[in-house]
């Protein structure tokens, strides 16, 4: 019997980021709005069925959904926020 083929990355519907299988997290790449700069302060709100991330001082506007990110999985939301504020460097001695 042949082994199962590797999972194929699939775009989530309606710009909502959700994963039911933790191993698929390797394929997750979040496209942030072009106007955002890494390290800017973020606003994270619980919108009931998902968490909405916007820049601090902004609120989610249904007329402009491209200005926000939505996560249905709180762990993925936390991982995104952690990576957003993480210092990036290429020094192998740094931890």
The model carries a pTM of 0.64
Say how many domains are in the chain. 1
Asked whether residue 10 is assigned to any structural domain, the reply reads no
The three-state secondary structure class of 80 is helix
Backbone angles phi, psi at 71, to 5 degrees: -130, 125
Look at 63 and 95; give whichever has higher pLDDT: 63
Asked whether residue 4 is assigned to any structural domain, the reply reads no
Asked whether residue 72 is assigned to any structural domain, the reply reads yes
Q: Residue 95: its pLDDT value, please? A: 57
- Structure confidence by residue, pLDDT tens digits, 26-81: 446 788 888 999 889 999 999 999 999 999 999 998 899 899 999 998 989 998 99
Asked whether residue 31 is assigned to any structural domain, the reply reads no
The rounded distance, in Å, linking the Cα atoms of 40 and 48 is: 25
Residue 73 belongs to domain spanning: 37-87
Q: Residue 46: its pLDDT value, please? A: 93
- pLDDT bin (cut points 50, 70, 90) of residue 10 is very low
Backbone angles phi, psi at 73, to 5 degrees: -105, 115
């Amino acid at each position: 019997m042949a082994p199962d083929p590797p999972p194929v990355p699939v775009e989530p519907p309606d710009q909502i980021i959700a994963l039911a299988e933790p191993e698929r997290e390797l394929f997750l790449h979040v496209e942030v709005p072009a106007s955002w700069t890494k390290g800017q302060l973020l606003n994270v709100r619980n919108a009931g069925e998902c968490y909405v991330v916007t820049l601090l001082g902004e609120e989610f506007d249904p007329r402009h959904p491209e200005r926000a990110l939505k996560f249905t999985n709180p762990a993925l939301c936390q991982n995104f926020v952690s990576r957003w504020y993480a210092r990036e460097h290429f020094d192998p001695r740094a931890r």
